[in-house]
């Protein structure tokens, strides 16, 4: 998707510079540089200025904050890595054969996280099922768990080799 304004194009020019290592990653541009692919950033940064407005008036979002899929993907990836790391630690503790007692407050955090992620998944699945236009011509592969499994296993293998 090309940039919608000169300001957005300039912003992604800074993000591109950060991804290339020319500029330190900080602020909102730093977050975008860390969470977006170089290909996504290039689409915005390469937009020509001719015919673009200086700025685009922002939508007023009441009750929610818009977030780019790239940023959400980065958060979900980090959650998956943390979950894999925790699983590995708990698995190792379980193999000891000793009785292990975790603090109640700690167990509650894991259980709440599961509930929150489950609710988020079921909400999104329901929205996609009831609004076929939400999927780009229904070509989105929703079999993401295998992809995540491969990413997590690769991350765990990388951590094991350290």
- Each residue's pLDDT tens digit, 33-46: 888 888 888 887 78
Tens of pLDDT, residue by residue over 108-131, are: 999 999 999 999 988 888 877 776
Question: What does each C-alpha distance from 18 to 32, 113, 158 come to in angstroms?
Answer: 9, 32, 25
* 64 found inside a domain: no
Residue 55 sits in which domain range?
1-59
Low-confidence ranges of the chain (pLDDT < 70): 1, 58-67, 131-149, 152-153, 156, 159-162
19 and 97 both lie in a single domain? no
21 and 88 housed in the same domain: no
The answer to pTM > 0.95 is: no
Domains contained in the chain, number:
2
Residue 138: predicted pLDDT: 42
Same domain, yes or no: 55 and 91: no
What is the predicted pLDDT for the residue at 62? 55
User: CA angle 86-81-157, nearest 5°?
Assistant: 90
Identify whether residues 54 and 108 lie together within a single domain: no
53, 77: one domain = no
pLDDT of residue 136: 46
Buried (b) or exposed (e) across 121-159, using 16+ Cβ within 10 A?
A: eeeeeeeeeeeeeeeeeeeeeeeeeeebeeebeeeeeee
> Residues 40, 85: one domain?
no
CB-CB contact of 41 with 32 (8 Å): yes
What pLDDT does 79 receive?
Answer: 92
Number of Cβ atoms within 10 Å of the Cβ of 19: 21
pLDDT given for residue 117 in this prediction: 94
What is the predicted pLDDT for the residue at 139?
Answer: 44
Q: Are residues 4 and 37 in the same domain?
A: yes
């Amino acid at each position: 998707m090309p940039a919608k304004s000169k300001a957005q194009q300039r912003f992604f020019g800074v993000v591109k510079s950060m991804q290339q290592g020319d500029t330190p990653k900080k602020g909102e541009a730093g977050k975008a540089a860390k969470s977006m692919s170089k290909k996504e950033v290039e689409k915005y940064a390469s937009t020509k200025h001719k015919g673009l407005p200086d700025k685009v008036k922002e939508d007023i979002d009441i009750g929610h904050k818009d977030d780019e899929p790239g940023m959400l993907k980065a958060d979900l990836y980090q959650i998956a890595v943390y979950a894999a790391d925790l699983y590995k630690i708990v698995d190792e503790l379980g193999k000891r054969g000793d009785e292990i007692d975790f603090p109640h407050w700690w167990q509650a955090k894991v259980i709440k996280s599961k509930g929150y992620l489950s609710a988020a998944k079921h909400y999104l699945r329901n929205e996609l099922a009831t609004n076929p236009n939400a999927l780009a011509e229904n070509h989105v592969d929703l079999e993401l768990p295998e992809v995540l499994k491969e990413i997590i296993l690769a991350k765990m293998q990388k951590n094991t080799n350290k």
